[in-house]
Structures are given as structure tokens and as C-alpha cells.
């Protein structure tokens, strides 16, 4: 949920290749290689790269701008708002607690780790940033601390009592009867004992390595025979990676459901591990480690092999936080801080339990009334039931909108291509795909059927590196021509081509999307995809793919596609500037932008100029929004809403009034610095009138949402936009589903 960001030549930003590597790793702040031999000079280069990445100029910095990480925390708070919204079904609220926790874990593994690495750079180097890195980190930790207090309050004061109302009892060990105690003791002996690993601690001799994300109990004990001996400390793992976190107990009352967490089973049984000691206190902790891959030089040697080696080091990265029970006494906390070589910036108090993303697996007991009403995806029968999907696409363009539509039509695009005797070639860019993928199987089947299949695989897709490498091996073994990541860049485009011989000519069929070829996320992420037989678009996609495959500059310019590293920034500036000129002439000028994140200072500055010229700018931003709307004289004409609901809003859609022509685009790119300057991204036009009208209707629903839309402002208050008295309630995702049902044949 942290996803996932150069119209000028790459060399104009960074002189040395090392700095290019650093820049590719950065979002707002930089990384430092976790090696004791790291030199000051290298640290200085890292910080300089970060400064340029953030787009700092005097002109831009005078304008209002919300730090990207502060804005992201505001987004994650919107997730937490769903967990406390009484209108959200109870089990869905528990799911939002899990999403919040999962998001925050990634934030620490990546963003907080980045800030900690910046603080390790030289003081002289940090001054170049224009802000105090320690101040930024303190602000972020303060916001997180306050949110976690609210998280605990929601869980303890709302979720648990409401579960009890529905006869679901989440018990601690002190609330168990004799039958239940016997049950958990037997469960411990049969299922947990082989995996529990106790370790006595001596801060001068024994310093255990804690696995990132794993759960532990820290113990304060005394010797039963000689209580005056120095206090003893120990640590015990909670084996949640081997056994499910929630265990259903024999109920105290028939018809009710009693549950206990794995943590409390270990707490209860831990005395048996230390028979010669009295257990004085037990508290839970967890360490999160830096998850970045540090590659010394992407431009030399085998990049794929370097990534494989780096993946092995991810689990032993520098600690970026120690999460602990906020009830832990100071003496115990200080002891473990020293044992684990942590500072005050690494400490984060939470409630009694950690790894709350495990709430994804909270048992539902078949209680459908406590979950969202199921919205069955709509089948595109015209495509899914067609004898050949290509005959249908030749007739007209099709817009696929998952998860409202099934992903079947996209899968059929590849499955039909794999067996169609007229198909000669398939090309695809793979950023993220599922562990089980019919699309990948179709590619391998196509090779068996004598077709040429080419796949570009981005192996730097964060947290999917290993899965993509594995798929690369499988595809190569099947005969697919596989090419991998480009040094210094990520390839984030989502597109595929099928080349078919018809009447002696090659005809190109194209899929262009805002989301990945991932059958799993297609049921959760809201994305659009275009299936088209437009030959000019098709040739440009093939042109781009050939560049990725050969690394040779495209032979022809892009006229329809806007592509990162080539014409994407110029095209965006041209579109915005046209609206500015229209407004200056007194003509109608409007820009509607929907995306995950808006952080690039140069584009934000351009939108401020547009607002000042009189352009009406309407933004739908799910996540990071560093732009500040509604500031008098600067952004009066800009409004921003964020929608967090049952589906993850992931589509990037841009509409420019264009003197009434309504130029409409889908894109793989958010307006983050990394997307616009450090990636191969694709923005594609929507030419078909029907497809354009559908997109405009979808945006209308979201702009008018008064149920799940939050207003984004300078204070990051996340106020819900509410329906006025007598006004109809509009929940955009439900309206979208109903609309898709109506229009899909």
C-alpha cells in the first residue's frame, strides 16, 4: 500500500554512476549503504542525490508544500478512520486495522529507514537538505505515536465490545476457565513447544539477532532460590509464522465463540521453559528492519545476480524500529535498547499486541452480516464469450474496469493469443503478477504452439523482486525470450501486444492499463485497462518494447503515447499550459486528475500557476498529496478529495478540458518524482467516444462522493464530505458498480 515515482537527461541530475544508483533508490530522502566502511564522501553524494530528487529550488520552496511522508501518514489515518466508522461492517473494520498496520510496517521498513540513514550522513552534508532531518523524523514519529494511541482505543473500546455483542469473545489468559486452560496447555505442548526458542540475555555477551517482523516476549525474572541475585532477562519468540495467530477455544457458553491470541498462549505456558525462575513481567516486542536492496553499481556486472544477492541481505538490514508494549517499565526498555544497539529514534510504543496485520486472518465464523455485501464482478460477455476476442476488439475499443469487471477478458486476451493460429507474436511488460497466474501459463503455452513470446520483467519491483525472478526463470525455461531491468531506471508501464497475421498483413492488438497483470489484486484494486486495435498506438507500444529489449533508442518519436524518459513530462506540461492559456483568454479551463500520489514539486508548482490563472483543478488523490489546496492567491481554484472504501483506488486518469475536446488519458504513472523522472511510464490516450464517456462518468461519481470522500486541506484533518440535508447520498464505488452493471454487454 507504499507504492509505489525526468523530462531532462538523466546525466543532468547526477555526475557519477554511484549517485545515479542512489537517486534510483530515493523517494524523498536517501539511503546509506549499511556498511561500516561507508565513507563520508559517499554519504555526501547520497544526500546531494536526495536534494535533487526532491526538486528543491528557491522558487518552488516558497510555495506551500506538505512533506510527502507527513501526507502519507495522513492517508494511512484515512484507513484508520474506516476502522472506527460505525457504518462499516464490524469484520471489515477489523480488516482496516490490518491494512493500517500492514501499511505502517512497510512505511518503517522503507521510509523511516531512509530518514534514519540520512541522519547517519555527515552534518555538513545534511545541511544541504534545507531542513533538519532529525526534526522531520521527530514529527513523523509523533504523528505515528498519536495514531497508534487511537488504534489501541479503537480496538479496545470499540472493536472488542462490539465483537462481544455478537457473541465473539477475544479472551486473555486470565479470562479462561479450567477447561480452556487445559486446552491451551495441550495446544502449546502439541503445536508450539518445538518452535519456541528461549534465550537468556547478557548485554555484554549475548545479543540475539531478532528477525524483522517476528514477534517476541521479553522477560524479567528472578531466581527462585536466590531472589537477591541480579535480575535475569530473557527473550522468547512467538511462533506466529508456524501457527495461526487466533485460536478458537471451547466456548464457555454454548452458541458463543471464544478466541485467544497465540501471544497469550505463550505467555501462559512460558513458566514451563524457565522452571527455576519466577516470571516477574512479560511484554511483547517486534523489530522492523530496513528493507531496501542496496546494489553497489547497477551499471556494472550482472544486475539480476546482484539483486539475488541483495535479497539475502534484506532480512538482516539495520533496525528501523523497536515496537514494544507501552506498559513496559523503563528499566526493561533501557536494557533491551542497549542489547539491540538502538537509539530513542528507533523506539515506538504500541499496545499489548503487535503485527496487527494478522487481523487479515481474524475468523469470521460465517457471519456474512458482519461483512460487506458481496459485489459479484460483472462479466464482459461480449469479450469473454467471443469465439475470438480479437474479432471483437477489431470492431471497437473496450474499457475494462476491475474489480467491477472480472479480469477474465484480460486473461482471455492472452489465452486466445496462445492458441490462435494467426497469432505470431506476444509481447508483455511484467511488473507484478500473482504467484499463480493464468497469464503466465498462457505465455508458456503460446511458445509450445510455435509463437514468439517476449517478456520484459522488472526485477526491482519492491517486495516482488524474488517472485519476478522466479517467473523469469520459469518463462525462460519454457522458451520465452526474457529481458530484465534497466540500470538506473524502473520500468513501470503496464502493456502488452499481440501481433496477428490477417490477410497477409500484421495487425497489432494492444492492452494498456493503469494496474498490473495480477489476477489477485485485480479483485481488490480499482484499475482501468484499454483493449484496442488502434494500429498507431500498437506500433508505438511495439516501439517502446523494442527499446526495453534492445536498450537502443526508439527509431520513431512517440506521438500518441507519452513515455517516461522521452516525452511524458513535456506532454503533461503542454496539456497544463494549454489550460492556463485558455483561462487567461477568459475561456473555460479545467483539469481533472485522479491518481494515487501527487508529490513532484515541479508539477505541483505548475498546478498552482494554473489555479492562479483561473483554471479549475479537481484532484482525486488516494494517498500522498503534497499540494495544498484552497490557499488564497495560490491554490484557490484547486480542490482535493481522497476516497478510501472497500476497494483500493489505484487508477491514474487525467482529463483536460482542451477547449471542449476533453482530452482523456489513462496512465501507469502517478505524479511522484520517481514516476516522472526515474521510471519508464506510459500515459495513453482514450480516443473511443464511448470509453471516454464511461471514464468521465466514473470521475463524476468520485467528485460527487459524499459518503467515503475526505477533503484534503492544509491541516490534514481528513474531514468527510457529507451530504447536505435533502441531498442524495453518493458512495462512488457503489454507484460505479451499478453503472458498470448497466452498461456492460
Render pLDDT for 642-681 as a digit per residue (tens, 0 to 9): 999 999 999 999 999 999 999 999 999 999 999 999 999 9
Render pLDDT for 681-731 as a digit per residue (tens, 0 to 9): 999 999 999 999 999 999 999 999 999 999 999 989 999 999 888 899 999
The pLDDT score that the predictor gives to residue 541 is 97
3-state secondary structure at position 7: coil
Alpha carbon dihedral 733, 737, 739, 745, in 10-degree steps, equals: 150
Q: Provide the pLDDT confidence category of residue 301 given band limits of 50, 70 and 90.
A: low
Give the DSSP letter of residue 363.
-
Q: Are 79 and 644 a contacting pair, CB within 8 Å?
A: yes
3-state secondary structure at position 648: strand
Cβ neighbours of residue 475 closer than 8 Å, sequence gap 6 or more: 440, 443, 444, 453, 455, 457, 482
Render pLDDT for 494-508 as a digit per residue (tens, 0 to 9): 999 999 999 999 999
When pLDDT is averaged across residues 530-538 and rounded to a whole number, the result is 98
The pLDDT score that the predictor gives to residue 112 is 84
The pLDDT score that the predictor gives to residue 698 is 98
Residue 310 has pLDDT above 90, yes or no: no
When pLDDT is averaged across residues 585-602 and rounded to a whole number, the result is 97
Of the candidate ranges 43-57, 231-245, 595-609, the one whose mean pLDDT is the lowest: 43-57
3-state secondary structure at position 71: helix
Query: Between these two residues, 478 and 31, which has the higher pLDDT value?
Result: 478
Q: Provide the pLDDT confidence category of residue 633 given band limits of 50, 70 and 90.
A: very high
- Per residue, what are the HEC states of 427-482? EEEECCCCCCCHHHHHHHHHHHCCCEEEEEECCCCCCCHHHHHHHHHHHHHCCCEE
Q: What is the pTM assigned to this prediction?
A: 0.88
Render pLDDT for 212-225 as a digit per residue (tens, 0 to 9): 888 898 888 888 88
Render pLDDT for 343-370 as a digit per residue (tens, 0 to 9): 777 888 888 888 888 999 999 999 999 9
The pLDDT score that the predictor gives to residue 250 is 96
Residue 300 has pLDDT above 60, yes or no: no
Q: Are 370 and 89 a contacting pair, CB within 8 Å?
A: yes
Render pLDDT for 67-108 as a digit per residue (tens, 0 to 9): 999 999 999 999 999 999 999 999 999 999 999 999 998 898
Which H or E run contains 236? strand 232-238
Residue 340 has pLDDT above 90, yes or no: no
Q: Provide the pLDDT confidence category of residue 8 given band limits of 50, 70 and 90.
A: very low
Give the DSSP letter of residue 208.
P
Render pLDDT for 380-412 as a digit per residue (tens, 0 to 9): 999 999 999 999 999 999 999 999 999 999 999
Alpha-carbon distance of 419 to 226, in angstroms, equals: 78
- Per residue, what are the HEC states of 483-552? EECCCCCEECCCEEEEEEEECCEEEEEEEEECCCCCCCHHHCEEEEEEEECCHHHHHHHHHHHHHHHHCC
The pLDDT score that the predictor gives to residue 34 is 29
Render pLDDT for 550-584 as a digit per residue (tens, 0 to 9): 888 888 899 999 999 999 999 999 999 999 999 99
Render pLDDT for 43-74 as a digit per residue (tens, 0 to 9): 444 455 455 445 444 444 578 999 999 999 99
Q: What percent of the chain has pLDDT over 90?
A: 62
When pLDDT is averaged across residues 316-330 and rounded to a whole number, the result is 80
The pLDDT score that the predictor gives to residue 174 is 87
Render pLDDT for 445-490 as a digit per residue (tens, 0 to 9): 999 999 999 999 998 777 677 888 888 899 999 999 999 888 888 9
The pLDDT score that the predictor gives to residue 187 is 94
Alpha-carbon distance of 386 to 392, in angstroms, equals: 7
Alpha carbon dihedral 627, 631, 637, 641, in 10-degree steps, equals: 50
Q: What is the dihedral sign for C-alpha 655, 687, 547, 292? A: positive
Query: Between these two residues, 266 and 294, which has the higher pLDDT value?
Result: 266
The pLDDT score that the predictor gives to residue 94 is 97
The pLDDT score that the predictor gives to residue 313 is 59
Alpha-carbon distance of 539 to 665, in angstroms, equals: 18
Alpha-carbon distance of 571 to 685, in angstroms, equals: 12
Q: Provide the pLDDT confidence category of residue 125 given band limits of 50, 70 and 90.
A: low
Query: Between these two residues, 293 and 170, which has the higher pLDDT value?
Result: 170
Average pLDDT, the chain: 86
Domains and CATH numbers, the chain: 10-141 (1.20.58), 169-366 (3.30.1840.10), 381-556 (3.30.870.10), 568-743 (3.30.870.10)
When pLDDT is averaged across residues 603-620 and rounded to a whole number, the result is 98
The pLDDT score that the predictor gives to residue 544 is 96
When pLDDT is averaged across residues 415-427 and rounded to a whole number, the result is 98
Of the candidate ranges 95-104, 110-119, 634-643, the one whose mean pLDDT is the lowest: 110-119
Strand partners, 247: 260
**Positions marked active-site:** 492
Give the angle subtended at the CA of 511 by the CAs of 509 and 514, to the nearest 5°.
Answer: 165
Strand partners, 166: none
Alpha-carbon distance of 486 to 395, in angstroms, equals: 37
When pLDDT is averaged across residues 34-42 and rounded to a whole number, the result is 32
Residue 23 has pLDDT above 50, yes or no: no
Q: Provide the pLDDT confidence category of residue 131 given band limits of 50, 70 and 90.
A: low
When pLDDT is averaged across residues 306-329 and rounded to a whole number, the result is 70
| DSSP string for residues in 114-156 | HHHHHHTS-HHHHHTTSS-HHHHHHHHHHHHHHHHHHHHHHII
Q: Are 597 and 670 a contacting pair, CB within 8 Å?
A: yes
Strand partners, 329: none
Alpha-carbon distance of 683 to 563, in angstroms, equals: 6
Of the candidate ranges 296-310, 535-549, 726-740, the one whose mean pLDDT is the lowest: 296-310
Amino acid at each position: 500500500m507504499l507504492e509505489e515515482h525526468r523530462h531532462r537527461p538523466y546525466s543532468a541530475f547526477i555526475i557519477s554512476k554511484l549517485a545515479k544508483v542512489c537517486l534510483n533508490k530515493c523517494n524523498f530522502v536517501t539511503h546509506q549503504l549499511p556498511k561500516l566502511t561507508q565513507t563520508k564522501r559517499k554519504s555526501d553524494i547520497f544526500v546531494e542525490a536526495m536534494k535533487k530528487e526532491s526538486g528543491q529550488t528557491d522558487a518552488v520552496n516558497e510555495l506551500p508544500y506538505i512533506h510527502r511522508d507527513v501526507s502519507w501518514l495522513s492517508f494511512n489515518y484515512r484507513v484508520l478512520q474506516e476502522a472506527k466508522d460505525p457504518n462499516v461492517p464490524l469484520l471489515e473494520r477489523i480488516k482496516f486495522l490490518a491494512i493500517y498496520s500492514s501499511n505502517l510496517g512497510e512505511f518503517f521498513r522503507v521510509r523511516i529507514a531512509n530518514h534514519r540513514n540520512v541522519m547517519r550522513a555527515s552534518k555538513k552534508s545534511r545541511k544541504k537538505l534545507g531542513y533538519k532531518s532529525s526534526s522531520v523524523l521527530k514529527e513523523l514519529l509523533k504523528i505515528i505515536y498519536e495514531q497508534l494511541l487511537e488504534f489501541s482505543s479503537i480496538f479496545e473500546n470499540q472493536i472488542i465490545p462490539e465483537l462481544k455483542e455478537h457473541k465473539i469473545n477475544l479472551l486473555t489468559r486470565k479470562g479462561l476457565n479450567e477447561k480452556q486452560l487445559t486446552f491451551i496447555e495441550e495446544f502449546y505442548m502439541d503445536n508450539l513447544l518445538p518452535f519456541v526458542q528461549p534465550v537468556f540475555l547478557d548485554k555484554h555477551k549475548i545479543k540475539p539477532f531478532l528477525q524483522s517482523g517476528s514477534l517476541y516476549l521479553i522477560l524479567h525474572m528472578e531466581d527462585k532460590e536466590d531472589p537477591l541475585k541480579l535480575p535475569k532477562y530473557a527473550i522468547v519468540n512467538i511462533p506466529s509464522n508456524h501457527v495461526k495467530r487466533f485460536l478458537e477455544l471451547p466456548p464457555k457458553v454454548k452458541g458463543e465463540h471464544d478466541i485467544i491470541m497465540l501471544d497469550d498462549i505463550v505467555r501462559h505456558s512460558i513458566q514451563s521453559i524457565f522452571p527455576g525462575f519466577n516470571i516477574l513481567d512479560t511484554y511483547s516486542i517486534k523489530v522492523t528492519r530496513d528493507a531496501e536492496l542496496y546494489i553497489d553499481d547497477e551499471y556494472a556486472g550482472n544486475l539480476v545476480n546482484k539483486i539475488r544477492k541483495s535479497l539475502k541481505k534484506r532480512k538482516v538490514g539495520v533496525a528501523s524500529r523497536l515496537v514494544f508494549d507501552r506498559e513496559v517499565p523503563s528499566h526493561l526498555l533501557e536494557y533491551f535498547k542497549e542489547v539491540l544497539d538502538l537509539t530513542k529514534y528507533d523506539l515506538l510504543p504500541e499496545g499489548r499486541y503487535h503485527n496487527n496485520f494478522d487481523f487479515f486472518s481474524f475468523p469470521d465464523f460465517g457471519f456474512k452480516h458482519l461483512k460487506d455485501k458481496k459485489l459479484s464482478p460483472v462479466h464482459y460477455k461480449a469479450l469473454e464469450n467471443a469465439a475470438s476476442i480479437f474479432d471483437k476488439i477489431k470492431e471497437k475499443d473496450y474499457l475494462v474496469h476491475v474489480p467491477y469487471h472480472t479480469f477474465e477478458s484480460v486473461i482471455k486476451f492472452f489465452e486466445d493469443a496462445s492458441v490462435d493460429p494467426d497469432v505470431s507474436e506476444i509481447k508483455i511488460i511484467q511488473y507484478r503478477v500473482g504467484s499463480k497466474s493464468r497469464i503466465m501459463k498462457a505465455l508458456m503455452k503460446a511458445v509450445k504452439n510455435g509463437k514468439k513470446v517476449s517478456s520484459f520483467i522488472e526485477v526491482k519491483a519492491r517486495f516482488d523482486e524474488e517472485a519476478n525472478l522466479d517467473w523469469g526463470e520459469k518463462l525462460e525455461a519454457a522458451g520465452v525470450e526474457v529481458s530484465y531491468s534497466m540500470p538506473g531506471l524502473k520500468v513501470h508501464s503496464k502493456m502488452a501486444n499481440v501481433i496477428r497475421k490477417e490477410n497477409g498483413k500484421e495487425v497489432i492488438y494492444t492492452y494498456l492499463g493503469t494496474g498490473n497483470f495480477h489476477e489477485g489484486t485485480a479483485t481488490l484494486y480499482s484499475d482501468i485497462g484499454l483493449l484496442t486495435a488502434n494500429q498507431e498506438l500498437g506500433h508505438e507500444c511495439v516501439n517502446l518494447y523494442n527499446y526495453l529489449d534492445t536498450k537502443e533508442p526508439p527509431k520513431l518519436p512517440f506521438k500518441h503515447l507519452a513515455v517516461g524518459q522521452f516525452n511524458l513530462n513535456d506532454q503533461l506540461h503542454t496539456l497544463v499550459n494549454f489550460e492556463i492559456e485558455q483561462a487567461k483568454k477568459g475561456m473555460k479551463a479545467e483539469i481533472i486528475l485522479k491518481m494515487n500520489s501527487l508529490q513532484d514539486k515541479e508539477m505541483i508548482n505548475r498546478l498552482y500557476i494554473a489555479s492562479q490563472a483561473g483554471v479549475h483543478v479537481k484532484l482525486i488523490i488516494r494517498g500522498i498529496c503534497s499540494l495544498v489546496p484552497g490557499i488564497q492567491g495560490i491554490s484557490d481554484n484547486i480542490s482535493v478529495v481522497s476516497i478510501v472504501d472497500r476497494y483500493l483506488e489505484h487508477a491514474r486518469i487525467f482529463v483536460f478540458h482542451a477547449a471542449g475536446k476533453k482530452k482523456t488519458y489513462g496512465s501507469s504513472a502517478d505524479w511522484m518524482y520517481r514516476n516522472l523522472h526515474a521510471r519508464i511510464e506510459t500515459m495513453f490516450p482514450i480516443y473511443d467516444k464511448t470509453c471516454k464517456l464511461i471514464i468521465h462518468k466514473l470521475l463524476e461519481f468520485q467528485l460527487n462522493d459524499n459518503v467515503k470522500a475526505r477533503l484534503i486541506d492544509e491541516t490534514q484533518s481528513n474531514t468527510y464530505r457529507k451530504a447536505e440535508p435533502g441531498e442524495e447520498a453518493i458512495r462512488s464505488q457503489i454507484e460505479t458498480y451499478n453503472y458498470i452493471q448497466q452498461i456492460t454487454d
